[in-house]
Amino acid sequence: MPYKDWIVAVGLDSAEVGNPPSKFQKVFEKAMEEGFLTVAHAGEEGPAEYIWEAIKLLKVSRIDHGNHILGDEKLVREVV
């Protein structure tokens, strides 16, 4: 937290396979408590379920990539 004034957002990226967003829920909860914006790479390598987790569990304000969103019509409607 000593660098909090230099940071705007906390993001999730890197290899998705085997690393669902739910694994990082506590980190994102703390980030939001501290007032950071939150974003996540989700659904690029991982399934649409990873996008749901990023939205519902991590409460991100933005999904980066999200290619697999197109395989879930309900998720497309939710994001729109």
Residue 14 within any structural domain of the chain? no
Whether residue 44 lies in the annotated active site = yes
User: Mean pLDDT throughout 13-35?
Assistant: 94
Tens digits of residue pLDDT in 56-68: 999 999 999 899 9
The pTM (predicted TM-score) of the whole model is 0.89
C-alpha–C-alpha distance, residues 22 and 54, integer Å: 7
Residue 53 within any structural domain of the chain? yes
| Structural domain for 57, as ranges | 20-79
If pLDDT is split at 50, 70 and 90, which confidence band does 14 have? confident
Predicted local distance difference test score (pLDDT) of residue 1: 83
Domain count, the chain: 1
C-alpha–C-alpha distance, residues 63 and 54, integer Å: 8
Residue 10 within any structural domain of the chain? no
Residue 15 within any structural domain of the chain? no
Residue 46 within any structural domain of the chain? yes
Share of the chain above pLDDT 70, in %: 100
Active-site residue (options: 44, 49, 53, 73):
44
Q: Tokens 């007032």 map to which residue?
A: 35
